[in-house]
Structures are given as C-alpha cells and as structure tokens.
A and B are shown apart, each in its own frame.
Chain A
Amino acid sequence: MRHVVGIVLIAAFIFYVLSLVSGLFIGPDPEAVGPVGRQVLEQSTREAGAVNTVTSVVVFYRGFDTLGEVTVLFLSALGIAVFFRAGGESANRAGTSGPAGNTEECGAPGFILRTGARILYPFFFLFGIYIIVHGHLSPGGGFPGGVIIATGFFVAILTGDRFHLPEGLLTVLEGFAGLSFIGLGLAGLFSPAGSFLANILPLGSFGTIFSAGILPLLYAVVGVKVAAELSGAVGRIYLDPEPVEEQ
C-alpha cells in the first residue's frame, strides 16, 4: 500500500514537470498580473490610501478574510485551552516554571540567557508595536508585529523564571480585539457607505502614519489579537498541569 502511494505521488510529480514543459496547464498569459491584481494596484492608493498595497489587500479589499483568519487563530487558542484545561484547575499551578522534565533535559537556563532576556523583554514589545503601526507603510503589520510581541513571552518562558501567564488579561484581550474588529466593520455598515468594513475615516496624507483611514486601526486590533492568542496558546501548553488521567 505504501509503495503504491509513493509511486503514484512521484509519478504525479513527474507528470507535473512534464506538463510544465508541454504547457498543458498554462492558462492565458501567465506572466502578467491578473485583472483583479491590476485593478487593486491602480485603485488602492485612491481607495485604501496605504503605501503598502499588500496591506490594502489584507486589511481593506480582503478584510473579511482577515477577520476569518484571526478567528482561526482564536479557534486554535480556544482549542488548546480546551485540551489543556487552562483557567480551570491549572490556575493554581500557573506560577510554577513549566514541566519538571524540561530543565533536567536542557539544563537550567544560564545567567546570560536570563539577564539578556530581562534586558530584551521591553524591546520586543517596542519593536512589535513599531512593526504594527507601520503596517500600512512598510512590510510588516499586525501579523508579524503580533508574533514579535508574543516572542517576548516565549523568551520569558525560556528563561524559566517564575513565569506567570496573565490568563485573565489574555482572554479579555482576545475577545475584546475580535469584537473591536467587528465593531469597526459594523461602523462601516451603518455609515453612509453602507457596507461592512467600509472606510469611515479620512484617508489623510499619503505615506504618513496617520493615513489610510481605518486600516492602521484594524491592523492594530489584529496585532493585539495575534499577540494575545499566540502567547496564550504556547503559554497554556507550557504551563500544562499534571497529565490528567481520565476514564
């Protein structure tokens, strides 16, 4: 059975390479930007007002996808909370420094790691916030920025200091950020434009921090949500209570 699957898959690959040579799967004009992409490139400075066109697409043209995307992250954080029973009995153990086996395998974190982490910790936040607020001006934005902020949490976990996961705060942030995204969108629905996620703020002057209408706000909300969910998901796995034997 395994060999069959292997042979079929490798045959599919060879077929694909051959088809590229013979042009079987080539559609009309593969080397040009398609109609939608062309239109986005031409209109985005006027409609979305962001320097970074990718941000215009992520937050404005396909903002609804982004809402779905943060929902997926929310779901996986929620799923991990369900599997690891965070907020339930684990709350009383949250002050301990992770699974016991961990330090034995890797050795206790050294002086340099601990000191370095303490110094670097605020810079992670600062850099993350910088990336988030410049999302509409340069590569970056809510997703990378949120991940950078969450990295600060991970470094704190690595040092093995008595790490306390602000469980309550994270949950509030997760829910609040999601609701703000929907709220900003609904404001568009009830504005004269009359459609969800419509741009209700003035576009400002092109290329400055305060431009592009609601895009930076939405991206900030996404950043908060990503940061809270990533730290929550990893923190909950790490601060897992004793394995629970059931049934």
Chain B
Amino acid sequence: MNQIFTVTSLMNIAAFGLIIIGLLAIFTQRNIFKLIIGLNLADVGVNIFLVNAGYIDGGTAPIFTDGIRSAQIMTDPVPQALVLTAIVIGFGITALALGLTIRLFEKYHTLDVKEMRGLKW
C-alpha cells in the first residue's frame, strides 16, 4: 500500500482528472468552441502531469541564488523546460484552431459540427 496523500500523487490525480474532463468534452461535445476548450483542459492536465514528474518533496526552484548553492535539494529542471515547450506548442495549436473556427463560422454560420455540411464526425 503506497502513500496516496503525497503532493505528487494528489497532483497526478488532479492532472488526470483534468485530462479526463478534457477528453470527455472532446468526445461528447458538438460545439467546436467547446472541443477546443476540452483540448486546452486536457493540455493543462498533461502539463501538470509532466512538471510533476520532476517534483521532489520540499525541493527548491532550480536557480542558484545567494542563499542556495547546493543542487541537492533542487527539483528536476528538465521537466520544467519540457513543460515550457509543451505550453508553447499548445498555444500554437489553440491559436490555429481558433483561427480555423472563425473561418468555419463565417462559412456555415454555426459552430455545431453536426450541422456542418460535408463530413461525418
């Protein structure tokens, strides 16, 4: 039996909760805008999960300041760098999706994927 009430486990549960909510929105909603919101929720969940991968209990930020010169108590900097990349990529995709949505709305005057003409969703 592992300890579940550690910061890492609780954060992981929160992260997966967000991912599940996001995926639920993506698979059950019909409004493109809500699909994009779902995507962003899941994205935030994944980012929390990623940054959590390098967290150690009681660790400090990995910055060498006057007070802190020892690397022993620092959290892992690599996942933080990965999350920075992931956030930027998520932003890029969101911006593009919103641009597409504006164009689609101008074409069909609806955001409901079921009412759009061509494709099966």
Contacts and interface: CB of A to CB of B under 8 A. Distances in A.
Interface in B70-92: 71, 74-82, 84-85, 88-89, 91-92
A10 B28 CA distance: 13
B103 A76 contact: no
Dominant secondary structure of chain B at its interface with chain A: helix
Dominant secondary structure of chain A at its interface with chain B: helix
B100 A20 contact: no
Interface string B37-63: 000000000000000001011000111
Contacts of B61: 139
B96 A79 contact: yes
B54 A80 contact: no
A9 B56 contact: no
Interface string A76-98: 11011001100000000000000
Contact of A69 (B13, B88, B102): B88
Contacts of A237: 98-99, 102
A57 interface: yes
A2 B27 contact: yes
Nearest to A23: B2
Interface string A136-153: 001100010000000000
Contacts, number: 145
B13 A20 contact: yes
A61 B79 CA distance: 13
A231 to B, nearest CB: 12
A21 interface: yes
A57 B74 contact: no
A69 B62 contact: no
B16 A16 contact: yes
Nearest to A76: B92
Interface stretch (A31-39, A123-131, A160-168, A188-196): A31-39
Contact of A79 (B16, B20, B82, B99): B99
B9 interface: yes
Given A54-B81, A80-B96, A139 B74 contact: no
* Residue from the set A6, A10, A30 with the largest chain B CB neighbour count within 10 Å: A30
B77 A37 contact: yes
A82 B47 CA distance: 29
A33 B79 CA distance: 10
A33 B8 contact: no
Given A2-B27, A10-B24, A57-B77, 8 more contacts: A37-B76, A41-B77, A42-B71, A53-B77, A65-B82, A72-B88, A79-B96, A138-B63
26 contacts: A20-B13, A21-B1, A22-B1, A23-B1, A30-B8, A31-B8, A31-B57, A37-B77, A41-B62, A41-B74, A52-B63, A57-B77, A62-B81, A65-B85, A69-B84, A69-B88, A75-B96, A80-B96, A83-B99, A83-B100, A83-B102, A138-B63, A139-B63, A143-B84, A233-B99, A237-B102
